[in-house]
Every structure is written in structure tokens, then in C-alpha cells.
Structure 1
Amino acid sequence: MLLFQLAVILLASKIAGDISVKLGQPSVLGKLLIGIVLGPSVLGLVNSTDILQELSQIGVILLMFIAGLETDADQFRKTGKASTFVGIAGIAVPFACGYGAGMLIGLSATEAIFLGLLLSATSVSISVQALKEMGRLKSKEGATILGAAVIDDILVIVALAFVMSLVGGGDVSLGTLVLKKAAFFAVAIVLGWKVVPWVLKRFAPLRVSEAVISAGLIICFLFAYLAEYAGVAAIIGAYAAGVAISLTSFKHEVFEKVETIGYSIFVPVFFTSIGVTAEFAGIGGNVGLIAGLSVLAIATKLIGSALGAKLSGFGWKLSFGIGAAMVSRGEVALIIAAMGLEASLLSRDMFAVIVVVVLVTTLITPPLMKLFLKPSPANEAEKTG
């Protein structure tokens, strides 16, 4: 059954992506929508299984690894101020409005705080693909978006750890959680500076096929594992691994082969599986709530992040383009929602509502980015998956 599902996903995602491009939208939008069509909500040709989810996880890790490999380190350093402004403002506005909305719909103060944090989350895995297709991943705004996503991830997870500790949902103290995250970034910097170049140089002479690309993938998966172990999203670890390798002479060799591996199977599975996992049963009575929270989630992240970008010196159009790239909540918000359900901070009905809201933010992100960010004249995206 898995083999059939993979064949269907790859065929449908490539065709849907091509149709999306012909209609003037990023190909990723077609891949997301075709997932809904293939999934149990419509045709039922593909079901969300554990194996498919594992393949999807590898897909998003490789996608962010590729983004790290394409990052211009000098540009990344120059956008530190802008990334900080975008990251903080992109959390503050959704959090405040999410908390207010939670209180209005009758949630307790703690539940409203949790909803605010949930709406503050960002996942730029979808945005990365759209940036690649528009040739803007290596631009100043691209570096700002990626940097802001890292800051967003750290701040939201630390705040979440604090809330969970208050309601008894955490097994360790807030101080320990913060220390683990700080330790990860310290270790990642040291490994990236000293160990990564050494490993690649030692692998290069080995008389086995594809030694360098194997070394690159080992580094990617280890960084992702360390990030996850420290309570930071695995995609942040994969991105850090890509940045570390981008500073070595092996950058282009690793990039070309990882892109081939990723976009031939794993990345399409990731995009399509987002739609496949969508469940629309039982939400008919909450259409108004879904619509309201969807508008709130989109507007607050768009406006908040855009204000941060504007304050850091971007023009209004680019600022809204950056804000649009931060709108998708993706797998990060789904993980947080699952934690909230387990800790009784979200009811089952509210959890179902949040899943649909997250899907809406993910679907709206590519066309919203296209509205504000025009493709680069010298489009650097050689492959769009």
C-alpha cells in the first residue's frame, strides 16, 4: 500500500505543482491542495500513516537543510537587527490578539494565554519553498525571514515551557529548558565552526561512493536530533547544519545532491501530507469560529511581522512580503496544539478548529507572498520540486 501511495503522491504533486505555476501561483500551493484531494476528506487514495509521517518529517528536515546550504552567511549576519524586530513583533501582536480572542470566546486566562502562544508560532518551511521559486531565498528579505523564524521558535518555545510548567504539563523546570536550548546553540556553533569542516575533509577521500553527500546528511540528521532533544524544532537544527556546511568548500556538491534526493521524493511527500492529514469531519458547527480565528491568525502575523520589518528599515511592500512569509503556522503550531490537548489546555473541539486554522494559514501563505514579493529578475530557483 505504501508503494502505491508514494506513486500517487509523486505523480499528483508534480502535476498539481505545474498547474499551480501555470495559474500564476507558487507550485507549493498546488501540492498542498492536492494533498486534501488525495486524502480521506475527498478521494481517500492516501491515508496518513506512521510511515508516511516519518517520510514527511525527513522531507521538511531536508527542505530546511537545503535552505541553510543556500543561505548567504554575510547577508544573514547583516540582517540580525531586522530578524529580531520581525521575530519579536511577529509574536507580540498575535499573542496579544489571541489572548483577547480567547477571553472573548469564554476560555480561562491560562487557556487564552495558550491560544495566544499558539497563534504566535511560525513555520517557514512552506515559505522557504515559495522564496526559492521566486528567486528570493538569498536576498536580504529571505535572510531576515529565516532569522526571524529562529527567534520566533526560541521565544515561543520558552514561553510555552513556562505556561506548561504552571499547569503541570512539564516534567522539568523552566530554567532547565532554557539552559538546554542555550546549550544546543552553543554546541551547534562550535560543531559548525570546528567539527563540520573536519568531518567533511575526512570523508572526502574515502574510497566509497557519495562519501561527501553521506557526510552532509549525517551532519544534517545529527543536528536535527540534537535540536529536537534540546526542545528546539528539528528543522532549526537542520537549517543550522546547512549554514555550517555552506561555509565550507563542499557546499555546492552537498547542495546539488541533497536537492536531487529531497525533491525527488521526500519534499513532495511533506507538502502533500499536510493536506492529507486535514480532517474536516465534525467541524460544521464551528465554521464561524474557524473563520474568525483564521482571519485573526493571518492578519496579526502579517501586520505584526510587517511592522517589525518596517521599523528595521524595509519599505512597506517588502515589509508586508516578509510578514506574509511568517503567516504559516505549519507543523510547529500542530505540535503545540497536540501538547495543549494533552495538557487539557485545548478541548477536542477546539483542537479540531485549530488544525483547520493552521491549514488555512499554510494554504494562504504562498499566494500572499506572491502578492507582495515579485519574483527576482534573475531567478535563482533552478528546481521547484
Structure 2
Amino acid sequence: MTSVWALAALWLSLALISGLLSIWLRVSTALSEIVVGTVAQLIFGAAIGSALLGTDESWIKFLSGVGAIVLTFLAGAELDPVVFKLKWKEAVAVGLASFFFPFLGCAAGAHYVLGWEVMPSWLAGVAMSTTSVAVVYAVMLEFGFNVTDYGKTVLAACFITDLGTVLALGLIFAPFTLKTAVFVAVGVAAFVVLPWLTPRFF
């Protein structure tokens, strides 16, 4: 039990350090948390071992997963259908551009410059093209952009970027079976039915 509390204290200390750095450097807390976490992983991993941070602990994985899900849900709740209908062209254009340019550019660079095989190159392109809705939402929430039309348009673009990432992973790497066809059919039906059904409950 002592090790659990010590590990929790370590994580909270890193969070405190990142918060103080964000205040001193006047940058977003989410960005400073990413930098502090990366630096801590490098330092502790090189000096003591990556096991010190306990990233493989089940409760840490659970908390990180819940946090990411909650932030993504809150970001989705900020999307305004009225704003999206007015700004859908901008959101789609930004979302597709932010997906395709890194995806194709990184895949081409990995294949032609670094000499990687085709499938690893595609995977590198997918990895570099995705975005983190949770991080974008945290930054916008901190600066108050989440209540503006600009912020809601950017959030919509982020969801479109992530949708492109999911589709690319599925089309390139997933095996196409009967289960895939069932999943696609159910997904299309949900996209068609839910916009009509949910206003009757909320």
C-alpha cells in the first residue's frame, strides 16, 4: 500500500511542477504536462528505470483512460450543431487538411527518405496525422476558446481529423470479414438514426 501512495505522490508532484511551469512560462497547462511527463520518463527511465513511474500499473491505466474519455466527452458536448451547420465547410477543410498533409507527408518521408517498408510507412503516417481532442479541449478551456464559434469550429475539425485516422487504420490494417461488414452497417445505421432519435429524449 505504501508503494501505491508513493507512486500517487510522485504523479501529483509532477502535476504540480507542470502547473507551476505553465504559470511561470505562461503556456498551456496541458502542454506543460506533456513536456514534464516526457522529461520525467526520460530522466527516470535512464537513471533508475521506467518502472519507477508505474505506467504499467492497472490503476494508473484506468485513471488515464477515464480522464481521456471524460475530456473527449466534454469536448464533444461543446460542439454546437448550429455553429457546425454554419461553419461545416471550414471545419471539414481544416480537419481533412490536418489529416491528409501529415499522413501523406510522413508516410512518404518514412518510405522514400528513411527507407521503411510500405506498411510501417503507412503506420507512421497515421501516427503523425492524428490529433488529441482531449489536449485541444483542455487548452481551449483554459483560454476560454471553447465558448467561441472559432473554438467550436476547431473542435469539430479535430473530430474530423480523428475520424480520418480511425478510417485509415481500419482500411489499411484491419482485416475485412463478416464482422467488419456488420460493424459498418451498424455504424451507418447509428449515424442515420441517432440525429433523428436523440432530440426526442433531450
Q: State the TM-score, normalizing by the size of structure 2.
A: 0.79
Contact 1:99–1:113 (8 Å) recurs in 2: yes
Per the alignment, residue 194 of structure 1 pairs with 200
Mapped contact 1:91–1:121 kept (Cα < 8 A): yes
User: What amino acid does structure 2 have at the position aligned with 1:135?
Assistant: G
- Residues 1:183 and 1:24: Cα distance change in structure 2 (over 3 Å): same
Deviation at 1:89, TM superposition (A): 1.5
Q: Deviations over 1:7-38 (max 9, x none)?
A: 33234313421321221111222322332355
Which SS does the other structure have where 2:146 is aligned? coil
Give, as a single letter, the amino acid of the residue that structure 2 aligns with 1:58. Answer: V
| Gap runs ≥5 in structure 1 | 198-385
Say whether residues 1:130 and 2:139 are aligned partners. Answer: yes
Q: Is the 8 A contact 1:72 1:138 kept in 2?
A: no
2:5 alignment counterpart:
3
Alignment partner for residue 109 of structure 2, among 101, 124, 132? 101
Aligned to 2:161: 152
Q: Could you tell me which residue of structure 1 aligns to residue 150 of structure 2?
A: 141
Q: Partners of 2:61 and 2:71 in 1: how far apart?
A: 15
- Tell whether 2:133 aligns with 1:87: no
Name the count of aligned residue pairs: 193
Give me the whole-angstrom Cα distance separating, in 2, the residues matched to 1:35 and 1:76.
Answer: 34
Whole-Å Cα distance in 2 between the matches of residues 187 and 56 of structure 1?
32
Is 1:18 the equivalent of 2:20? yes
SS in 2 for 1:101: helix
Q: Retained in 2: the 8 A contact 1:14–1:31?
A: no
Note the alpha carbon deviations across 1:154-181, whole angstroms, 9 max, x for none: 233223222124xxx4555654443343
CA–CA distance in structure 2, aligned partners of residues 64 and 191 of structure 1: 22
Taking only aligned residues, the RMSD between alpha carbons, in angstroms, comes to 2.7
Q: How does 1:242-281 map to 2 (within 5 A)?
A: none
**Residue 214 (structure 1) aligns with:** none
Is the contact made by 1:158 and 1:177 (CA closer than 8 Å) also made in structure 2?
no
Describe the shift of the 1:158–1:64 C-alpha distance in structure 2 as closer, same or farther (beyond 3 A).
closer
Asked if the contact 1:79–1:143 (Cα under 8 Å) also holds between the matched residues in 2, the reply is no
TM-score w.r.t. structure 1 length? Answer: 0.44
For residues 60-106 of structure 1, give each alpha carbon's deviation from its aligned partner in whole angstroms, at most 9, with x where no partner exists.
11112223344444323322111111111222212221232132122
Partners of 1:71 and 1:138 within 8 A in 2? no
- Pairing 1:31-46 to 2, within 5 Å after superposition: 31-39=33-41, 40-41=44-45, 45-46=52-53
- More relative contact order, 1 or 2 (CA 8 Å, 6+ apart): 1
The equivalent of 2:188 in structure 1 is 182
Which has the larger helix fraction? 2
CA distance in 2, matches of 1:111, 1:156: 15
Letter matched to residue 53 of structure 2: V
Q: Which residue of 2 aligns with 1:121?
A: 130
Give the whole-Å Cα distance in 1 for the aligned partners of 2:39 and 2:123. 32
Q: Tell me whether 73-82 or 184-193 shows the greater mean CA deviation.
A: 184-193
In structure 2, the residue matched to 1:75 is 83
Q: Which amino acid aligns with 1:56?
A: S
CA distance in 2, matches of 1:53, 1:35: 15
Distance in 1 between residues matched to 2:91 and 2:79, nearest whole Å: 14
The alpha-carbon distance between structure 1 residues 106 and 11, as it changes in their structure 2 partners (threshold 3 A), is: closer
Residue in structure 2 matched with residue 308 of structure 1 by the alignment: none
Kindly provide the amino acid, as one letter, of the partner of residue 29 in structure 2: S
Q: Mark the runs of 5 or more structure 2 residues left unpaired by the alignment.
A: none
For structure 1, which segment, 170-179 or 139-148, has the greater mean C-alpha deviation from structure 2 after superposition?
170-179
2:79–2:155 Cα contact (<8 Å) kept: no
